[in-house]
Amino acid sequence: MSGATAYVTLEPCSHQGRTGPCCDALIAAGIAKVVASIADPNPLVSGQGFERLRAAGIPVEVGPGAQVSRELNIGFFSRMLRQTPWVRMKMAASLDGTTALANGQSQWITSIEARTDGHAWRARASAVLTGIGTLLQDNPSLDVRLVETPRQPHRIIIDSQLQTPLDARIFNPHGQVWIYTASTDEAKTQALENRGASVTSLPGAGGKVDLAAVMHDLGRRQINELHVEAGFKLNGSLAREGLVDEFLVYLAPKLLGPGQGMLALPALQTLTGVVPLEFISADRVGPDLRLVARIEGRGTF
């Protein structure tokens, strides 16, 4: 390795974290040059890594592939600069926007290819979030099963009144379950914690969970990317509060007619109230269409 050029996406760190300083490892290895795509936004690094390398006589080039590197690390940038995770909301619907029939039946609207792709997006996230409505109706496990993964994301439930059943499937896979609630019921809290959950009370208006406070708490817990798979009510609440950065939407070539929609949003009186989005990508996944759309201007923090 001595005399080689090291190409890295992010500035080598200069502090002791979960591992030792990357700069010291590169210097000890005898690296002749470092090419980095982008500086680390972490205040503990923020240019100090480049300075240490240059002080050791190692030339540093910064900039090639900066935008791609930022996208690869968008959750990390979000947490460092906003103190909250990058929130991606996944939805699967028919072409006319129905995510479930009026009776709640939704399995399966999209194809196995789309569901497998959705699990790959789960796997890249630090945590997967759902609401108590989805938990009670579908009893999901919310783990990654259809693709290989070296670790399972944390599983998060928004449960205002602590209605999570102790035998819910979400407790079965390996990994942590975090429950956010507005309840102060000590007996229910203790029962869920005995089941292995971490229960945090963050009450907001109207007996609901303070969703903005949840995002800041997740940032504190070092969650970079949050993957939301919830029902239309919680989806709508998150969107109305401006807490969603990106939408991951799978559209099946089917028409289902009236049923449950993607998000419960208030009716607009004029088009000036629309939420502007920008399409990031549009791809075929099996017979379905996968759209990634971002709130206009997000990602430029």
Q: What's the pLDDT tens digit per position in 289-300?
A: 999 999 999 877
What CATH architecture applies to the domain 5-72?
A: 3-Layer(aba) Sandwich (3.40)
C-alpha Rg value of the chain to the nearest Å: 22
1 pLDDT tier (thresholds 50, 70, 90): low
Q: Which residues contact 233 (CB under 8 A, 6 or more apart)?
A: 131, 133, 264
146 pLDDT tier (thresholds 50, 70, 90): very high
Q: Poorest-confidence range of 15-24, 92-101, 233-242?
A: 15-24
88 pLDDT tier (thresholds 50, 70, 90): very high
Task: Pick 110 or 300 by higher pLDDT.
Answer: 110
pLDDT of 151 over the 70 cut: yes
Residue 59 tokens, joined = 């030339």
DSSP designation for 6: E
DSSP H stretches of helix in the chain: 22-29, 48-55, 66-72, 74-82, 112-124, 132-138, 186-194, 211-220, 232-240
For the segment 220-242, the average pLDDT, to the nearest whole number, is 97
pLDDT of 275 over the 70 cut: yes
- Kindly list the distances between the CA atom of residue 82 and the CA atoms of 71, 86, 195, 263, 268, in Å, as whole numbers in the listed order: 16, 9, 33, 25, 29
For the segment 35-63, the average pLDDT, to the nearest whole number, is 90
Beta-bridge partner residues of 89: 228, 247
Q: What is the SS3 string spanning 174-204? A: CCCEEEEECCCCHHHHHHHHHCCEEEEECEC
Domain boundaries, given as residue ranges, for the chain:
5-72, 84-265+273-295
User: Are 5-72 and 84-265+273-295 the same fold in CATH?
Assistant: no
- Asked if 253 and 95 touch (Cβ cutoff 8 Å), the reply is yes
* Rounded percentage of the chain residues whose pLDDT exceeds 70: 99
pLDDT averaged over every residue in the chain: 94
For the segment 175-180, the average pLDDT, to the nearest whole number, is 95
Of the candidates 89, 86, 72, 77, which has an alpha carbon nearest to the alpha carbon of residue 292? 89
CATH code given to domain 84-265+273-295: 3.40.430.10
pLDDT of 213 over the 90 cut: yes
Location of structure tokens 């205040």: 43
Task: Pick 244 or 15 by higher pLDDT.
Answer: 244
Look up the pTM and report it: 0.92
Beta-bridge partner residues of 179: 157, 199
158/218 Cα distance (integer angstroms)? 13
Task: Pick 17 or 180 by higher pLDDT.
Answer: 180
pLDDT of 188 over the 70 cut: yes
> Residues for the chain: how many in total?
301
For the segment 87-92, the average pLDDT, to the nearest whole number, is 98
pLDDT of 180 over the 90 cut: yes
